Structure 1
């Protein structure tokens, strides 16, 4: 069994408490850092490409602070058809997003990067997750927003909280991806860097 005190410095490049809670499930020591990256989509950029680009930018931003570490970063972009649903940032935008999503399927693209800032090796993947939403009323939208205030969540969707009540079904290879950190892919990436969990 690997000596658990000999792990390299592991940095979660995120200020999300939910990503932090997910990473804690792996029971390995890590620190957190908030990457300073402007999150926006480029003109004509596909949602999965946006998510991957931002996750990579976050990794490189954090690497400047930690030149000898394994850096985990992630980003998530939601897509309703050809329309990207970013973070609403306001009540009005959240209401608009949720109204457009009810009764429809939304694809959440969760990008994950593991960057070795010492060797500059970068592993990156995008994990899609399909979410079919229920038909819900404007009143239900208002109650949900008042309780959860998911204004910094892609597509106003907070599946780790009350937002799960808006969902009819979830389809994907990793249920953690919807919350923002695909652990199954991360375990594989860590193994590629020589880190076995047990």
Structure 2
């Protein structure tokens, strides 16, 4: 049986430039570097939101692993959806308002996929996980939506909110197994995958 190694002694790479994911990963360790994955995130025809998140997380991890031999590479992707409609990052104030108006009084599913590529050996090993979070939005007035977007400017967030900030006031309830997943990186699952890869988190 291989002796586990400390997380402090591996080359850990986050295949993302997201500051939200980086902030989450710092809860486990400050020792990592970020590399942009450069992956086409276009949804395939007929692709289910769950499958889209899983495919992109895997693609991001593999893309970065190609340029990071000997590293442990984390890829993650989050897709928000209801009625099979994918809610991307709004990009504009108008899109953010429209997304929140559509979500008001409804339940939205957030699929947060995780892929860990272990490129330390002669052949890369891949470990994967998927968190499904269900968010029940309360009924929202146009004024509340306008005020929220103005105050928090969630234009780079899937679903147009920041659950770690004021966005929590938009909800009636959240149902999931990992509170960090909704922010973009499921730490409970990541810690498990690292252990499976023979890396001690604690």
Indicate if the aligned counterparts of 2:80 and 2:110 stay in contact, CA closer than 8 A: yes
> 1:41 is matched with which residue?
43
Q: Give the Cα–Cα distance (whole angstroms) in 2 for the partners of residues 121 and 3 of structure 1.
A: 16
Runs (5+) with no aligned partner, structure 2 = none
Which of 106, 109, 117 is 1:107 aligned to?
Answer: 109
Indicate if the aligned counterparts of 1:176 and 1:182 stay in contact, CA closer than 8 A: yes
Shift of 1:5: 7.7
Q: Give the Cα–Cα distance (whole angstroms) in 2 for the partners of residues 39 and 95 of structure 1.
A: 23
Q: Give the Cα–Cα distance (whole angstroms) in 2 for the partners of residues 80 and 6 of structure 1.
A: 40
Q: Secondary structure, in 3 states, of the residue corresponding to 1:175? A: coil
Which of 142, 161, 173 is 1:138 aligned to?
Answer: 142
> Which contiguous aligned blocks of 4+ residues in structure 1 show a shift greater than 6 angstroms?
none
Shift of 1:71: 0.3
Shift of 1:48: 0.6
> 1:72 is matched with which residue?
74
Indicate if the aligned counterparts of 1:131 and 1:171 stay in contact, CA closer than 8 A: yes
Indicate if the aligned counterparts of 1:28 and 1:197 stay in contact, CA closer than 8 A: no
TM-score normalised according to structure 2 size: 0.92
Tell which deviates more after alignment, 23-32 or 183-192: 23-32
Indicate if the aligned counterparts of 2:114 and 2:129 stay in contact, CA closer than 8 A: yes
Pairing 1:128–2:132 present: yes
Shift of 1:92: 1.8
Indicate if the aligned counterparts of 2:154 and 2:160 stay in contact, CA closer than 8 A: yes
> 1:19 is matched with which residue?
21
> 1:151 is matched with which residue?
155
Indicate if the aligned counterparts of 1:18 and 1:179 stay in contact, CA closer than 8 A: yes
Pairing 1:191–2:199 present: no
Tell which deviates more after alignment, 178-187 or 4-13: 4-13
Aligned-pair RMSD on alpha carbons? 1.8
Tell which deviates more after alignment, 22-31 or 66-75: 22-31
Q: Give the Cα–Cα distance (whole angstroms) in 2 for the partners of residues 137 and 70 of structure 1.
A: 45
